[in-house]
């Protein structure tokens, strides 16, 4: 019986994914991702494994070198930056993801973070718990400018919510939808300059540089807020911490980080104007169900010699 490794921490024995795999004669093996693994754990993770449904933890060339029986890796999510796709291809291992399963969840959390920043809800709720009763004014979203970088499913869903809230929506993308006249497609410099709330919805680039670095933070309004629900690797966290500290930028809301969980020595720790959540954008019950099943179907397809629906290796 082929063994299927599952590291996604919300997938459990007896759930829909477990049942689907067992119905196809496969044996789920659970090793939940809850932080960095030891070197020994990483080296042995894929031993005797034919397929894997993975969280966003790193999969390196060294880990794949000893994965003699591994045929397919399926991400239970959209991002796959953490996987060395070239090394997987060199070993004949297919790599798939699950797009279109969590974009509504991502968009809703993005707007929720924007509302929290606009109305200073983190500061207010913290103060109330401490016995205070703050009454400082926040900002309405209507009439403000939402800048979006990237126009995949998550960026598109966020743009639609922004329009519904009465925001002016500016989008920087290589793939504009000219039929959507409610959204203004423009260049990156304009989005950076004009956004009151800048939301990232793009994949990581091939270069080693950060999409949001010191100069681009300097190009933003000092009253602006940066929101990242896409990938932690997009933002230079050191430059962001400096911008938040010296008033270059008013605030930030981050659901993804370059290293997760947030390291104890992160320069972002202790800053009052940054809100950090624990990679929750796609973590709704509905999105988890869709993503887990999509990943399971990808594994089954590859093991049964069918082309998977969403390969990222071709």
Alpha carbon 303 to chain centroid, angstroms: 27
* Active-site residue flag, 75: no
260 is catalytic: yes
How many residues are there in the chain?
Answer: 314
Cα-Cα-Cα-Cα dihedral of 21, 60, 94, 50, to 10°?
A: -40
What is the SS3 assignment for 38? Answer: coil
- Tell me phi and psi for residue 177, to 5 degrees: -105, 95
Coil, helix or strand for 98?
coil
Q: Of residues 103, 279, 288, 310, which has the active-site annotation?
A: 279
Question: CA 22, 28, 29 angle in degrees (round to 5)?
Answer: 160
CB atoms < 10 A from the CB of 42, how many? 16
Which two structure tokens, joined as six digits, stand for 220?
């933003």
Tokens, residue 170: 């500016």
Q: Considering the candidates 231, 288, 297, 310, report the single residue annotated as catalytic.
A: 231
- For 226, the enclosing helix (H) or strand (E) is strand 225-228
- Asked if 104 is an active-site residue, the reply is no
The residues annotated as belonging to the active site are 231, 260, 279
């Amino acid at each position: 019986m082929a063994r299927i490794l599952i590291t996604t921490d919300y997938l459990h024995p007896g759930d829909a994914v477990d049942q689907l795999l067992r119905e196809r004669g496969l044996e789920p093996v659970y090793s939940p991702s809850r932080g960095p693994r030891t070197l020994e754990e990483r080296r042995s993770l894929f031993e005797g494994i034919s397929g894997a449904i993975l969280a966003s933890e790193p999969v390196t060339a060294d880990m794949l070198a000893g994965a003699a029986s591994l045929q397919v890796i399926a991400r239970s999510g959209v991002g796959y930056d953490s996987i060395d796709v070239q090394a997987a291809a060199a070993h004949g291992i297919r790599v798939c993801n699950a797009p279109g399963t969590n974009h509504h969840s991502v968009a809703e959390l993005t707007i929720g973070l924007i509302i929290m920043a606009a109305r200073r809800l983190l500061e207010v709720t913290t103060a109330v718990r401490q016995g205070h009763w703050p009454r400082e004014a926040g900002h309405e979203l209507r009439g403000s400018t939402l800048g979006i970088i990237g126009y995949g499913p998550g960026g598109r869903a966020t743009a639609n919510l922004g329009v519904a809230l009465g925001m002016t929506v500016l989008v920087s993308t290589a793939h504009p939808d000219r039929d959507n006249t409610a959204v203004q497609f423009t260049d990156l410099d304009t989005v950076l300059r004009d956004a009151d709330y800048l939301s990232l919805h793009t994949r990581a680039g091939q270069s080693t540089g950060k999409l949001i670095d010191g100069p681009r933070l300097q190009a933003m309004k000092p009253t602006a807020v940066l929101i990242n629900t896409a990938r932690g690797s997009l933002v230079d966290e050191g430059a962001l911490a400096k911008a938040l500290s010296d008033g270059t930028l008013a605030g930030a809301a981050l659901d993804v980080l370059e290293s997760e969980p947030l390291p104890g020595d992160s320069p972002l720790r202790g800053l009052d104007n940054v809100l950090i959540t624990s990679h929750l954008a796609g973590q709704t019950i509905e999105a988890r169900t869709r993503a887990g099943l999509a990943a399971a179907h990808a594994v089954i397809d590859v093991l049964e010699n069918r082309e998977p629906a969403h390969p990222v290796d071709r």
